[in-house]
């Protein structure tokens, strides 16, 4: 009984885009830790891998459950993999709070990246896909991912945290590349183009 058995065997699902109601509403708590839930986790891992993401919330495959997965490095460049149901993120306060501004992207607004300052440390508590308590301490990209994905489950997209000017730039960026992403991406792969970005999307 480990996350490794849920990182394969899934089928691709289309990534839900910003603007769809499920992306902007608070999710339902997970109450049934059954095979259906674990198959959803498998599908999410398959979809995230195909989309080259580092994190994915259930809302991003159109499911309004408080669940997200991640596969991304921490500040020590150690890759961390997991799935958390009903997550609660705790962020440092006062002198312990250190903001780090880094380009952030979202698989649900593919092609758009803008800098966003977030705390460089986050602790996320919740339940694993078997209903067992789990605590994840995140630094680096993982800290950002834990915050980004938990935001999704509360109906917040990272564009909501940007200034109006930066949000306009983000949407313009995504609009320029929208033709590369089919409506059912990544079920239908992204069209090829020259160049690209190495920033992480969640």
Q: Which residues are catalytic?
A: 149
Q: Centre a 10 Å sphere on the Cβ of residue 40 and count the other Cβ atoms it contains.
A: 22
Extract the runs of DSSP E, i.e. beta strands, from 53-201: 55-57, 67-73, 79-90, 99-105, 113-119, 121-127, 133-139
Angle among Cα 97, 99, 100 to the nearest 5 degrees reads 145
Q: How far is CA 18 from CA 24, 90, 95, 106, 174, in A?
A: 8, 25, 35, 9, 11
Q: How far is CA 58 from the centre of its chain?
A: 9
Task: Determine the Cα–Cα distance for residues 192 and 140; give it in Å rounded to an integer.
Answer: 30
Kindly tell me the burial class for residue 50, based on how many C-beta atoms sit within 10 Å of its own C-beta (0-12, 13-18, 19 or more).
middle
């Amino acid at each position: 009984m480990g996350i490794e058995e849920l990182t394969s065997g899934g089928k691709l699902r289309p990534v839900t885009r910003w603007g769809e109601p499920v992306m902007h509403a608070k999710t339902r708590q997970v109450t049934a830790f059954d095979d259906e839930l674990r198959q959803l986790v498998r599908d999410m891992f398959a979809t995230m891998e195909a989309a080259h993401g580092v994190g994915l919330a259930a809302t991003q495959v159109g499911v309004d459950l408080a669940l997200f997965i991640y596969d991304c490095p921490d500040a020590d460049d150690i890759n961390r993999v997991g799935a958390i149901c009903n997550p609660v993120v705790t962020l440092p306060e006062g002198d312990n709070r250190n903001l780090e501004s880094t380009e952030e992207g979202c698989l649900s607004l593919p092609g758009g990246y803008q800098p966003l300052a977030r705390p460089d440390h986050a602790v996320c508590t919740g339940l694993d896909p078997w209903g067992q308590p789990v605590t994840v301490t995140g630094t680096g990209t993982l800290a950002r991912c834990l915050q980004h994905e938990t935001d999704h489950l509360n109906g917040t997209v990272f564009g909501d945290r940007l200034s109006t000017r930066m949000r306009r730039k983000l949407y313009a960026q995504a609009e320029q590349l929208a033709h590369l992403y089919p409506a059912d991406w990544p079920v239908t792969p992204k069209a090829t183009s020259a160049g690209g970005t190495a920033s992480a999307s969640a």
